Amino acid sequence: MRNAMIFAAGLGTRLRPYTDDRPKAMVEVDGRPMIGHQLLRLRAAGFTRVVINVHHYAQQIIDYVTANDGFGLDIAFSDETGHLLDTGGGIRKALPLFDADSPVLVHNVDIFSNADLAALYAAHLDEGADASLLVSQRSTSRYLIFDNKDNLVAWKNIQTGEVRTAYEALLPSLQHLSADDTTYRLRAFAGIHIISPTLFPLLEQQDEVFSITNFYWQHAADYRIRCVEAPHDFRWVDAGKPEALTIAAEIAKLAIDNS
């Protein structure tokens, strides 16, 4: 069984007024709700079991997926209507719904890209990493820092200069990274990642609410948390704002044409 999870529990505050009466996952992109696009993408990539976490207007998502016969997938819903659990907490709660022996590809509902999800999953299996994070050289305020062997080392906020790392001895050098540094690379996280069962027991030990990004850097010294560089023709957009919906529609059409 090939596992995937879609993060669809967010409030979608950046997408108002669209989300005043619906969840972000039900905001339409090129005539289809975001959640529909993501489920079709996952199905085309060979995923069979998909867990969707829900919170804001949860029933709308459930009704839509059910009305479409689960898009031919084995769908389960992870209920966060009581309170939001953040990204790490969301995965932790959903763990019992997955095949415990297979990695889980995690995908934000508002991320639209031309990433080859099947190839990403296959490469993760071949590599045998504990987690694989899709990254690119996109400009952002918060970066993940990787060494020249693709291993995660730290997280950095460019605007504030804050660095978070499990490698305390590296902190001074990481705080003053230059653009031409060849030892470490600053990369933007694409919101698509794969988690192996080796991390499931550790996830279960975490608090109920936590960030998966924080979890990754906190345990990077003891586990192989690797990056996967997006190709040069990579197209990506976070469709969490109204002005990004047009770009998301363009990318969604490309995905359909290439499927």
pLDDT of residue 251: 94
List the chain pLDDT tens, one digit each, 259 residues: 799 999 999 887 888 887 888 999 999 999 999 999 999 999 999 999 999 999 989 999 999 999 999 999 999 999 999 899 999 999 999 999 999 999 999 999 999 999 999 999 999 999 999 999 999 998 899 999 999 999 999 999 988 889 999 999 888 888 887 666 778 999 999 999 999 999 999 999 999 999 999 999 999 999 999 999 999 899 999 998 999 999 999 999 876 544 4
Count Cβ neighbours within 10 Å for each residue of 217-233 and write b for 16 or more, e otherwise: bbbbeebbbbbbebeee
**What whole-number distance in Å separates Cα of residue 150 and Cα of residue 132?**
10
**What whole-number distance in Å separates Cα of residue 52 and Cα of residue 7?**
6
User: For residue range 148-165, what is the model confidence (pLDDT) as tens digits?
Assistant: 999 999 999 988 889 999
pLDDT of residue 257: 47
Task: Note if the bond before 17 is cis, omega within 30 degrees.
Answer: yes
Domain holding 147, by residue range, is 3-258
Beta bridge partners, 109, equal: none
pTM for this model (two decimals)? 0.92
pLDDT of residue 180: 66
pLDDT of residue 259: 44
**What whole-number distance in Å separates Cα of residue 52 and Cα of residue 64?**
12
**What whole-number distance in Å separates Cα of residue 85 and Cα of residue 71?**
26
**What whole-number distance in Å separates Cα of residue 37 and Cα of residue 179?**
36
Concatenating the DSSP letter of every residue in 83-94 gives ---HHHHHHHHH
Give me the amino acid identity at 253. Answer: K
Rg (CA), the chain: 18
CA–CA distance from 247 to each of 239, 240, 241 (Å)?
8, 11, 11
Question: How many separate domains does the chain show?
Answer: 1
Torsion of CA 208, 38, 132, 233, to 10 degrees: -140
**What whole-number distance in Å separates Cα of residue 65 and Cα of residue 202?**
31
Q: Report the CATH number at residue 82.
A: 3.90.550.10
Closest CA to 215 of 229, 232, 201, 228: 201
